[in-house]
């Protein structure tokens, strides 16, 4: 009888608030103004409401380039958008991997090499924000 009650309940593996995990940054060293880098992270979402509909001009992925030390030039925001994803059927849970390309990184003035960390967060259509993740360091060298 207990098995029958459990079997009738919907199974939820993922929370409705998106969860992201850092996977990789490729490569870990880039040449200023020449090389692009790729940030890779995985996601899980319990109700599958990721991505924006066509015509929506907001961004749902925020990537912030943060650097410590002098000279201080402030954070740089890279706005990105997820494609609209909602699976058909009753179970809307989704998971996957996102690869973001950042072209033409640069060093701060006066530095022979610089180190950047990328902070990432996503937002679903219900305006729930994921956890924040931080990349491993990326070294930026002269061309």
Quick count: other Cβ atoms within 10 Å of Cβ 127? 8
Q: Which residues of 57-77 are buried (b: 16+ CB within 10 A; e: fewer)?
A: eebbbbbebebeeeeeeeeee
Rounded CA gap, 24 and 81, in Å?
Answer: 19
CA-closest candidate to residue 120, choices 141, 97, 139, 140:
97
Q: Where are the domains of the chain?
A: 13-141
- Per-residue pLDDT in tens (0 to 9) along the chain, 143 residues: 334 444 444 555 788 999 999 999 999 999 999 999 999 999 999 988 999 888 888 899 999 999 877 777 778 888 899 888 877 766 788 999 999 999 989 999 889 999 999 999 999 999 999 999 999 999 999 99
Q: Confirm or reject CATH 2.60.40 for domain 13-141, answering yes or no.
A: yes
User: pLDDT of 40-67, one tens digit each?
Assistant: 999 999 988 999 888 888 899 999 999 8
Residue 17's pLDDT is 95
Strand pairing class (29-31; 138-141): parallel
């Amino acid at each position: 009888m207990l098995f029958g009650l459990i079997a009738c309940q919907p199974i939820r593996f993922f929370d409705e608030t998106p969860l992201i995990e850092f996977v990789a940054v490729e490569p870990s060293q880039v040449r200023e103004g020449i090389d692009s880098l790729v940030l890779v992270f995985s996601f899980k979402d319990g109700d599958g409401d990721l991505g924006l509909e066509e015509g929506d001009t907001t961004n749902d992925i925020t990537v912030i380039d943060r650097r410590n030390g002098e000279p201080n030039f402030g954070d740089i925001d890279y706005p990105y958008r997820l494609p609209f994803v909602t699976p058909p059927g009753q179970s809307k849970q989704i998971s996957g991997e996102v690869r973001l390309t950042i072209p033409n990184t640069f060093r701060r003035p006066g530095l022979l090499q610089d180190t950047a960390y990328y902070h990432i967060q996503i937002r679903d259509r219900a305006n729930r924000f994921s956890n924040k993740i931080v990349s491993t360091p990326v070294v930026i060298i002269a061309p």
